[in-house]
Amino acid sequence: MDIALPHVFPIFVSFFCMIMYAVYDLSLKAKILRAKLRKQGIDGPAPSLLLGNISDIQEIKSKASAEDTPTYNFLEPLSLDCCTILLPHLSQWTKQFGKTFSFAMGKVQILYIGDGELVKEMNSCKSPDLGKPSFLQKDRGPLLGKGLLTTSKEVWAHQRKTIAPTLYVNKVKDMLSIVLDSGNTLVESWEKMVETEGGIADIKVDEYVKNFTSSSFSNVMFGRYDVAHKGLFLKFRDLMEASGSPTVLDGRPFYRFFPTKRNREQWRLEKEIYWIILELAKESRMEEGESMIQTLVEGSKHGELGPSTPQQFIVDNCKELCIVAMDVPGITAIWGLMLLAMHPEWQSRARAEVLEVCGGQTPDAEKLGKMKILKMIIQEILRLYPGVGFTVREALADVQIGKKVFVPKGVNIWVWPAALHRDPQLWGPDALNFNPERFANGIPGACKIPQAYAPFGLGPRTCPGMNLGMMELKVMFSLILAKFSFSLSPNYRHVPKFDVLLQPKYGVNLIIHKL
pLDDT at 141: 79
Mean pLDDT of 112-121: 95
pTM: 0.90
**Local structure of 488: helix, strand or coil:** strand
Look at residues 276, 268, 277 and name the one whose alpha carbon lies nearest to residue 318: 277
CA pair distance 379, 436, nearest whole angstrom: 7
Q: Is the dihedral of CA 224, 228, 232, 233 positive or negative?
A: positive
399-431 burial, b at 16+ Cβ within 10 Å, e below that, comes to bebeeebbbbebbbbbbbbbbbbbbeebbeeeb
pLDDT band of 14, cuts 50, 70, 90: low
Across residues 137-154, what is the average pLDDT?
87
User: Which helix or strand (DSSP H or E) is residue 418 part of?
Assistant: helix 417-420
How many residues in total does the chain contain?
Answer: 515
Q: Is the pLDDT of residue 155 over 90?
A: yes
- Asked whether residue 313 carries a pLDDT value surpassing 90, the answer given is yes
Give the span between the Cα atoms of 171 and 504, in whole angstroms: 32
> Of 500, 506, 498, 495, which Cα lies nearest the Cα of 241?
500
The mean pLDDT of 403-424, rounded to a whole number, is 94
Give the per-residue pLDDT at 259. 80
pLDDT of res. 288: 64
pLDDT tens digit sequence for 50-90: 788 989 998 998 887 755 454 445 445 677 888 888 889 99
pLDDT at 19: 65
Q: What domains does the chain contain, in order, with CATH numbers?
A: 32-514 (1.10.630.10)
Output the pLDDT for position 75: 45
Q: What is the pLDDT of residue 81?
A: 85
Does 308 score more than 60 pLDDT?
yes
Which of 355-369, 478-492, 494-508 is the least confident region?
Answer: 494-508
Distance between CA atoms of residues 306 and 298, nearest Å: 16
pLDDT score recorded for residue 327: 84
pLDDT reported for residue 103: 95
Contact predicate 335/495, CB 8 Å: no
Lowest mean pLDDT among 70-74, 133-137, 329-333, 483-487: 70-74
Instruction: State residue 25's pLDDT score.
Output: 59
1 pLDDT higher than 50: no
Compute the radius of gyration of the chain from its Cα atoms: 24
What CA–CA distance (Å, rounded) separates 512 from 515? 9
- Secondary structure of residue 183 in the 3-state scheme: helix
What are the tens digits of pLDDT across the range 179-204?
999 999 999 999 999 999 999 999 99
Residue closest to 249 by CA, chosen among 462, 96, 118, 53: 53
pLDDT value at position 3?
47
Residue 97 confidence (pLDDT) above 60: yes
Across residues 307-335, what is the average pLDDT?
Answer: 91
Read off the pLDDT band of 287 (50, 70, 90). Answer: low
Q: Which of 445, 376, 458, 377 has the alpha carbon at shortest distance from 417? A: 458
28-60: pLDDT as tens digits: 788 889 999 999 999 999 998 878 898 999 899
CA 155 to chain CA mean position, Å: 21
Averaged pLDDT for residues 484-491: 95
In this prediction, residue 27 has a pLDDT band, given cuts at 50, 70 and 90, of low
> How much is the pLDDT for 117?
95
Collapsing DSSP states into helix, strand and coil, what is residue 355? helix
Which of 371, 378, 390 lies closest to 339 in space, CA to CA? 378
421-474: per-residue pLDDT in tens? 999 999 999 999 999 999 999 999 999 999 999 999 898 898 888 999 999 999
Question: Of 73 and 497, which is predicted with more confidence?
Answer: 497
Q: Has residue 389 got a pLDDT over 90? A: no
> Bridge partners of 112?
101, 414
Distance from C-alpha of 476 to C-alpha of 96, rounded to nearest angstrom: 42
Can you tell me the distance from the alpha carbon of 515 to that of 513, in angstroms, rounded to the nearest whole number? 6
Please, is 515 exposed, middle or buried when counting C-beta atoms within 10 Å of its C-beta (0-12, 13-18, 19+)? exposed
Of residues 326 and 452, more confidence is placed in 452
Of the two residues 337 and 261, the one the predictor is more confident about is 337
Q: What's at 61, amino acid-wise?
A: K
Q: How many CB atoms lie within 10 A of CB 63?
A: 11
- Per-residue confidence (pLDDT) for residue 191, from 0 to 100: 96
Query: What is the number of other CB atoms lying within 10 angstroms of the CB of residue 185?
Result: 16
